[in-house]
Structure 1
Amino acid sequence: MQDAQLEQLAWETGRLLLEKGLSMTAAESCTGGWIAKLMTDISGSSAWFERGFVTYSNESKVDLLGVREDTLALFGAVSEQVALQMALGALSNSCAHLSVAVTGIAGPTGGSRHKPVGTVWFAWAHGQSLLAERCWFAGDRDQVRRQAVRYALKRLGAVCATK
């Protein structure tokens, strides 16, 4: 996917947020702030982008988002449970209406038999409404991250459209 396509998707998501009178926050691990960068590249994005959290380390997930250490120990950083806690933590540590969280293994190292490279967990939160999904993406590190950003924004737009 070309950067122009990601930029277009960010613009469409931002327009939808603005139309709905909603704001968003992002909690990113494997995408390293790419979602926040795309969203804030758009002039006027402060009307609908509240803040972003880049929580690459487990310690930052705990400190900034309130992810529980026992959850990390039991399920690992790349899990549904951690993604959901990241999404809720981002929401509770911001004034945003919606959050998106991304945690995954972009590679080329870090994968295992149970969680291979390309495994990414997503979560979206709106109030107490939660949604989590796992995807597997093929490709090198950049391709996995790019696909994760695209998927997170597409689903955020779908979540936003239902509000």
Structure 2
Amino acid sequence: MAADLWTSALSLAGVALGGGLTALAQRATQRSAERVEERRQAVATTESRRAEQIGVLKEFVACAQAAERAAYSRPDPWGDDEGGWMTRTGPVMTALWTASGNVTLLCDEALREPVTTYGHALNAAVWRDIGGIEVNEHLEAAKTAFMDAARGSLAGS
């Protein structure tokens, strides 16, 4: 009888130990799966944010190009808006400033100054507040600084 009791206790201990080990293994597996899922979500968030940043940078560059075209196409004699230049240019500049704000809001803070400087340079070129300097010469430094900063921001994200 003592042997039966001993065997039963040993069996019960084995069942308890086996159950405990199974529970530990399941918990470890569950935690591992949770960590993998957290990393997957972090990567997905990072990729989504990068895509969003690329989108606003592309939008800003497109708006900057439209502003440059407006600067180059501005009529020399300033008077009546017979050709509709000012009517076309107002929305172009509004889009540029909106795109600039999106870059400031969604991208790295290191882009704030270059995007603002480039925007101001474009604004001056469009409204001919650049004296006798050619448009491309006036824009070159600000444009290069912005592009370099944007490239650096994307490389770091």
Q: TM-score, normalised by structure 2?
A: 0.31
Q: TM-score, normalised by structure 1?
A: 0.30
In proportion to residue count, which structure has more strand? 1
Highest CA radius of gyration, 1 or 2?
A: 2
